[in-house]
Amino acid sequence: MRVVIAEDHALLRDGLIRLLEAHDFEVVEAVDNGPRLVPALVQHRPDVAVVDVRLPPTFTDEGLKAAIEARRQVPGLPVLVLSQYVEQLYARELLTGGGGAVGYLLKDRVSNVAEFLDSVRRVAGGGTAMDPDVIGQLLARNTRDEPIGRLTPRESEVLGLMAEGRSNAAIASALFVTEKAVSKHTNNIFAKLDLPPSEDDNRRVMAVLTYLSSR
Amino acid sequence: MTTIQTAAPAPPLRYPRLAQPFLALGLAILAEVGIAFFVLNVVSVPLIAVWVGIPMLLVFVPCTRWFANCHRRMLAGFLGAPITRPYRQPPMKGLLMRLRTILADPATWRDIVWLLTNAVLGFTLNLLSAVLFLASVFYLIYPFLVWVTPPGVFDQPFGGLFTLNVATSFLMVPLGLVAFLIWSASGERLLKANAHLAKSLLGPTESAQLAIRVRELAESRAETVDTQAAELRRIERDLHDGAQARLAALSMNLGMAEEMVARDPAQAAALLTEARESASTALAELRDLVRGIHPPVLADRGLEGAVKALAISCPFKVDVSFDLPGRPPAPVESAAYFAIAEALANTVKYAAATNAWIQVSYEQEKLHLLVGDDGVGGATVVTGGGLYGIERRLAAFDGTLTLVSPTGGPTTVIMELPCESSSLKTTPSSGTA
């Protein structure tokens, strides 16, 4: 799988390259600033881009903006954004770019190599990978008078994992239940949230996230 | 200057037209009462020589000040703006120090001068205004007076110059009209003239104004230094007890794993997992700490983005409206952000609200921040509380906080931060889709 990396810290950049190349990814380009990122993404059209939010020259949200811009030019371009902190505003901006295939993770998640690689592969495969922190904040919202308040604790748990972008199989193994139980829970969730059932994994996550973030 | 009010910041009341003549009459009477205060003060001063003057001054000067303060409040209604109290604070405790301050304070002497001018000029102006109105009423009902009173009372006006009966007394009515016209044209102006006259003596002189300002600045600076020192201590403590300790544990675990990797790979792997976890926790703590110092989203997106991010992470619906011509300077922006964040956090904690709104606008060289909610109300500014903290933070910038929170709600926190328009920058980085 071909990857473009944008990260300004040399150490982290090298670490990411080494990590990904050790797991059969091909790093086609690694840039260290925002302005070079958009052309790199548009030119290489990688299977997935791993982008740091904060990049030179402004050291603000240059990377995020470049990712959004690249996704505007190449719709559906899979981008996994890494950041030192998670901000729902940014998650929303990435998601409203349309076309799924986005991820937004805390940088620390890289340290859990298996989970990180799973996230990268998920985004490359057109799915989403949302940081548990973002989802946690969304689910922790005051839910008086909200349909989400009608969910059982187990269903909220399933919704959380679902919103991170995990498949039923992954949720089942994370919660130590059968896949059948998970799909029963998801159907209940869809019914309670008035979401029409859909076969598309990604659309269901998008639907949930859009529902959660549009309030 | 910081003000705490439990009601809306109402501008000084403007008196209704019809109340003015009676107020004027009252003020005229008070002007003569003032002579008593004048005399008491003036007599006290020479009596200092025989000591009796000292207790007399310590009693009469505060009385005079109270009397003057009553006038300051009343007259503010004619001026439409409050009259600042110009008195100096004694720098130290003690009766003699108080006496010294009183005697050295020009405001003391200006009060006495005012008592005298008020008794003459103020009295005249007030009385004229009142009499014009009363005369107009008097002449307008003149025929009625002639009719109801026995002969010899009202039927010989102007010192018995001529005699009237009920029919001819109607000739006096036009006088009432004339008086009314003069009063309506000049009555309020006379009272305003009196108020301005009083303000010139009761208000602070330029140097007193500066002295008041210096006092406020010294207070707010001392507080700013205190809060900043406390903040630094907090950061130091958090770093020392949190991230630093965790990183130490992390490097210890790594060292042990290094030593163990050949001997007992399984144990080494467990230590590495532990090390990774403490690295994550250290990062999380650093993240929180950074957010408390200067939230990254504020640095990235400025006040608007940061406030929107706050609104999104709120458990209820928050409407955000922004009307800023540019980005305020970083310290002001940061103060504004933390003020809004704290006010919103208060709402989340206590208000039981279902809706909140944040408005940020710029007007008259001031940043106006408003945080409102439809919650239960009853919020107060208590020392050490969240709102008090905001107030202290804003005071460092000469900002003010006004709280309107009747029991039962809704609550509105209005904050103002001075910020010159020349320091507002337009940023090229704003406006991402």
Q: Quick: pLDDT tens for B308-330.
A: 989 888 888 899 999 988 889 98
DSSP 8-state class, residue B415: E
Judged by a CB distance cut-off of 8 A, whether residue A65 touches chain B is yes
Judged by a CB distance cut-off of 8 A, whether residue B32 touches chain A is no
B355's CB contacts (< 8 A; 6+ apart) are B316, B317, B318, B319, B373, B374
Tell me what pLDDT residue A157 has: 85
Instruction: For chain B, report the end-to-end CA distance as a whole number of angstroms.
Output: 40
Place of tokens 């606008």: B361
Neighbours of B175 (CB within 10 A): 16
Judged by a CB distance cut-off of 8 A, whether residue B288 touches chain A is no
Contact residues on chain B for A88, CB-CB shorter than 8 A: 309, 312-313
Contact residues on chain A for B313, CB-CB shorter than 8 A: 88, 137
Give the nearest partner residue to A88 out of B301, B312, B354, using CB atoms. B312
Query: What's this model's pTM, rounded to 2 decimal places?
Result: 0.70
What percent of chain B is predicted at pLDDT more than 70?
95
Q: How many CA atoms lie within 13 A of B233 on its CB side?
A: 6
More confident residue, B149 or A172: A172
What is the distance between the alpha carbons of residues B392 and B155, in angstroms, rounded to a whole number? 70
Contact residues on chain A for B291, CB-CB shorter than 8 A: 85
**Inter-chain residue contact A58 with B308, CB threshold 8 Å:** no
Tell me what pLDDT residue A16 has: 92
What domains, with CATH codes, occur in chain A?
2-140 (3.40.50.2300), 147-213 (1.10.10.10)
What is the distance between the alpha carbons of residues B120 and B127, in angstroms, rounded to a whole number? 11
Give the nearest partner residue to A108 out of B283, B301, B305, using CB atoms. B283
Domain B221-293 has CATH 1.20.5: yes
pLDDT digits (tens, 9 = 90+) for B52-72: 888 888 888 889 999 999 999
Chain B residue nearest residue A145, CA to CA: B354
Q: Cβ(B278)–Cβ(B246) under 8 Å?
A: yes
Positions of chain A with pLDDT under 70? 97-99, 141-147, 197-204, 206-215
Chosen for mutation from B294, B300, B350, B374 (greatest number of chain A CBs closer than 10 Å) is B300
Contact residues on chain A for B316, CB-CB shorter than 8 A: 142
What percent of chain A is predicted at pLDDT more than 90?
36
Place of tokens 């000040």: B65
CATH code, residues B302-423: 3.30.565.10
Q: Is there a shared CATH topology between the B221-293 domain and the B302-423 domain? A: no
Contact residues on chain A for B427, CB-CB shorter than 8 A: none
pLDDT digits (tens, 9 = 90+) for B189-244: 888 888 888 888 888 888 888 888 888 888 888 888 888 898 899 899 988 888 88
Break chain B into its structural domains and give their ranges: 3-204, 221-293, 302-423
Q: Check pLDDT > 50 for residue B432.
A: no
Sign of CA dihedral B241, B244, B250, B255: negative
Chain A residue nearest residue B309, CA to CA: A89
